[in-house]
Structure 1
């Protein structure tokens, strides 16, 4: 049994009645069986966990003003203009479709130009608007519409999208979705996935429920054919496999879907940000010296991600690959990222580099050019591991579109 209205086992029906009684003090007339079963399914019909989840959700809705956020909240221009994504059309069963060209998103630029609270509010507004669309569809079609589909386009997605503060915001948004909008995702089509997709998925996978993971479909090169199996072509933009365009013929349907783009620095609120990570190492690099940080990469396909700032002065850095075991001078190592000096005392420095092979990498802070000043650096450097083939089988589903 699916655990949905009209498809309940005897035990599930009994648990539903007990659940309704347990939470009767917080229920409103709009909270029908469809609503209650969402929370039961989300916690495998565990009454205690389902009740805690629902009570936390209703308290959260009151705190963020979710019921009236679409009327009350005015977002900064940078978010409405550059935060990629939009509602566009419905699938063949009437469920709303969200198109998300994440590869075109400049989250770093948005994070420098808007408060995190506003970024999170914008995503709450997206989902709340989707729920209103579902309610309208339910009335129009004469049946319950309670799920949504996502086309997640990763064209243009690269290492810059693994900027740690941006990833932290994205993960916080995912946690919010999982806690407060369970059983809402119907299907997520991932298209144009780059080779670093396993790295990105590895970061967010611990946040996702098993139900969500099972609904992620990573499509192959003929993804258009697979998407159109579930969505009529006149419902989605021409660029994403459909036939829909704006009145001016724009294939992206920009009137519906924001396609993102680089945020102009004129929007930036500040030039200097504090590092987001709590796991910082603080070191003093003496004048005329270097500080090597060794990193063990166990398999090809990993990435090294770094973030640091200095307290008062600039610093140089480079990344090397050790070509032989034991002690080795950096001059004898293979250069992965060439030496550069950065004003990390003014703006924190961050970056990510793909590791094409396993072995020992050395992130080297360089103060050898300074014979008068020592430098204090606060940093976090980490290795991001990709999904292994066996782990992938327990996560998203890869499809070739021909099944």
Structure 2
């Protein structure tokens, strides 16, 4: 596997010619680089006019490796070939380095570039990339890779220090300025071999990319420290690579650097995992127009009156402070009066405002402000807050925040926790990321007023008055939502079905002991059955069966235009109970489990004509033990299993064999029409399908 590394652009506020003179002083060896034992020039050539100089060196490196490994490898030193191409006309130096030792086992490549700053010709930019491919190394491949990574990190960290050291040495010698190269007259032309194969670093019509690139296209090391914090060289490399990948592949607006870095931190700088999670989040943001939410969304008056939360100054670290009086908020009333989507939008808007405030505070305080602090007042928390629909909405909100706003919460205070709080915490905490849970500080009664309390984190002048502080907190006090504002049962039903009527997707309920089945008649073999369904409630088992003879559905059900059975009040049993699997019918797709919240897409190429039955069965959780369940266990079970019914939304399409290369909208779909802010959609590429058709 090839490992790649990319450094940020480092800026030296000195002219290019002076930087190159400082760089050349490290040869043949440099006391500041102990591993750089020696170097010798093996070839040198210069263009006829003297503008281009190419030097090749063999460098001796004493790698900081275990003595045992050196003995096994049979070497004390490693040798690298370094090729330096200096273009004095265009003021660029390109350094290419590749290992000579063990080149059949390890390929280590490095490319460094010194160029003129695109906005200030008196400054110099430095950029470094590297790649490592350990093919085989006496069984120590992992160790060899770690040693190389350590070496790369050390060279990045020492690079600027070494240049600065040699600049000081030049100054001691009285050299503070070196004139730029000028085209010599014919009489002054430098004799020698003209370099025919020198790298094409300049084109009058297409100047060098590095020299003319926009500052926004690259990350500067000083910018990283100022706005993103202190990162290790490998962390910087991971950030730059992910940022470049987004610029190359994302046709829309790329996220800000802080946002990209949050996903890397949340995944411990696992490049592939961070890229996957970030791409899913960017798709979610695009689907729901989150980038425009703060400017376009108007909060309902009901939220303005009864949602008791708001922003309130900053904590001692400069983080924006959000105050939520959860115990004073009628969560059940808000759920009965508003849709779940509205509440999720409210939470998303809070997070978007938090990102904006962090960015503003970074500029104000002159240091990176990554996250905000949340202060939750639990006084008044009661059984009303454990209302099951409200808890389910809370779990959805947690999923949305965890997936799209990682590393945005710096610290969360839970104050005046009542005796009921452990019940709520037991329900919610398993769904919160472990790193996030570590940021929670819980205080019972008035414990927050003592040592280690709020005053250690928030200035007394900014602690809200209702918590014993000196500051008036201008947020709604909450209170009970009048029942006159509740939605009626009919309105609730209409809201649940609204998305169904607006899309091509149909809904179905799967009952325990009564699977939901769709019958499709296939006249021609090699047709394609495609499916796209969301599991919106419970867990289901999905299977496909084939029969040569038609099943006999209930009298109320008939075959539609595409051979689909119509919905009935009770799911029809298409597979006759007297039929024997393997004789009367066969399974053509192995049953697989689809979890709540998943979106599943797939296809099946039919091998025979006949009748195909798509079946969804209720999948129950493991039975509870015979011992009596506690209240918490009972609530948890009710949230997870949610009685004896599952719900799906589905879209089925049948493609005739002659139309396989035509329109295949269902195969191309990546989300179902049910996807919304309050729905967790997991894109599953199911391996159980017998075949997948593509263009």
The TM-score normalised by the length of structure 1 is 0.64
Contact 1:196–1:301 under 8 Å retained in 2: no
Q: Among 122, 128, 132, which residue is 2:346 paired with?
A: 122
Report the counterpart of residue 170 of structure 1 in structure 2: 394
In structure 2, the CA distance between the partners of 1:161 and 1:30, relative to structure 1 (3 Å rule), is closer
Report the counterpart of residue 454 of structure 2 in structure 1: 227
Report the counterpart of residue 302 of structure 2 in structure 1: 78
Deviations 1:226-270 (A, max 9, x none): 11111012223111232112xxxxxxx3x3x22211100121121
In structure 2, the CA distance between the partners of 1:210 and 1:307, relative to structure 1 (3 Å rule), is closer
CA shift for structure 1 position 297: 6.0
Contact 2:239–2:261 under 8 Å retained in 1: yes
In structure 2, the CA distance between the partners of 1:160 and 1:281, relative to structure 1 (3 Å rule), is farther
Contact 1:281–1:380 under 8 Å retained in 2: no
Q: Which residues of 2 match residues 99-138 of structure 1 at below 5 A?
A: 99-138=323-362
1:120 and 1:160 map into 2 onto residues whose CA distance is 19
> Is the partner of 1:129 in helix, strand or coil?
helix
CA shift for structure 1 position 16: 2.5
> Is the partner of 2:311 in helix, strand or coil?
strand
CA shift for structure 1 position 42: 1.0
Contact 1:190–1:219 under 8 Å retained in 2: yes
1:11 and 2:238 aligned:
no
Report the counterpart of residue 261 of structure 1 in structure 2: 479
Q: Which has the higher contact order (CA 8 A, sep 6+)?
A: 1
Report the counterpart of residue 256 of structure 2 in structure 1: 31
1:279 and 1:89 map into 2 onto residues whose CA distance is 50
Report the counterpart of residue 365 of structure 2 in structure 1: 141
Report the counterpart of residue 345 of structure 1 in structure 2: none
Q: Which residues of 2 match residues 35-54 of structure 1 at below 5 A?
A: 35-54=259-278
Q: Can you give the 5+ residue segments of structure 1 that lack an aligned partner in the other structure?
A: 246-252, 283-293, 309-349, 351-378, 382-403
CA shift for structure 1 position 296: 5.9
1:235 and 1:209 map into 2 onto residues whose CA distance is 29
Number of residue-to-residue matches in the alignment = 288
Q: Among 380, 383, 404, which residue is 1:159 paired with?
A: 383
Q: Among 468, 484, 488, which residue is 1:241 paired with?
A: 468
Report the counterpart of residue 341 of structure 1 in structure 2: none
Contact 1:76–1:114 under 8 Å retained in 2: no
Q: Which residues of 2 match residues 325-344 of structure 1 at below 5 A?
A: none
In structure 2, the CA distance between the partners of 1:280 and 1:173, relative to structure 1 (3 Å rule), is farther
In structure 2, the CA distance between the partners of 1:241 and 1:13, relative to structure 1 (3 Å rule), is same
Q: Which residues of 2 match residues 166-205 of structure 1 at below 5 A?
A: 166-205=390-429
Contact 2:229–2:368 under 8 Å retained in 1: no
Q: Which residues of 2 match residues 284-295 of structure 1 at below 5 A?
A: none
2:391 and 2:480 map into 1 onto residues whose CA distance is 17
1:28 and 1:89 map into 2 onto residues whose CA distance is 31
1:35 and 1:175 map into 2 onto residues whose CA distance is 18
> Is the partner of 1:263 in helix, strand or coil?
coil
CA shift for structure 1 position 303: 6.3
In structure 2, the CA distance between the partners of 1:71 and 1:7, relative to structure 1 (3 Å rule), is closer
> Is the partner of 2:414 in helix, strand or coil?
strand
Report the counterpart of residue 63 of structure 1 in structure 2: 287
Deviations 1:277-324 (A, max 9, x none): x89879xxxxxxxxxxx996658674644999xxxxxxxxxxxxxxxx
2:383 and 2:512 map into 1 onto residues whose CA distance is 23
Structure with the greater alpha carbon radius of gyration: 2
> Is the partner of 1:134 in helix, strand or coil?
helix
CA shift for structure 1 position 79: 1.5
2:626 and 2:307 map into 1 onto residues whose CA distance is 36
The TM-score normalised by the length of structure 2 is 0.38
2:231 and 2:643 map into 1 onto residues whose CA distance is 50
In structure 2, the CA distance between the partners of 1:303 and 1:258, relative to structure 1 (3 Å rule), is farther
> Is the partner of 2:247 in helix, strand or coil?
coil
1:45 and 1:306 map into 2 onto residues whose CA distance is 34
> Is the partner of 2:242 in helix, strand or coil?
helix
CA shift for structure 1 position 85: 1.1
Contact 2:315–2:321 under 8 Å retained in 1: yes
> Is the partner of 2:373 in helix, strand or coil?
strand
1:96 and 2:320 aligned:
yes
> Is the partner of 2:352 in helix, strand or coil?
helix
1:270 and 1:239 map into 2 onto residues whose CA distance is 36
Contact 2:427–2:636 under 8 Å retained in 1: no
In structure 2, the CA distance between the partners of 1:194 and 1:303, relative to structure 1 (3 Å rule), is farther
Report the counterpart of residue 361 of structure 1 in structure 2: none
1:242 and 1:224 map into 2 onto residues whose CA distance is 10
Deviations 1:40-77 (A, max 9, x none): 11112111110011111122222222222122112222
Deviations 1:340-388 (A, max 9, x none): xxxxxxxxxx9xxxxxxxxxxxxxxxxxxxxxxxxxxxx849xxxxxxx
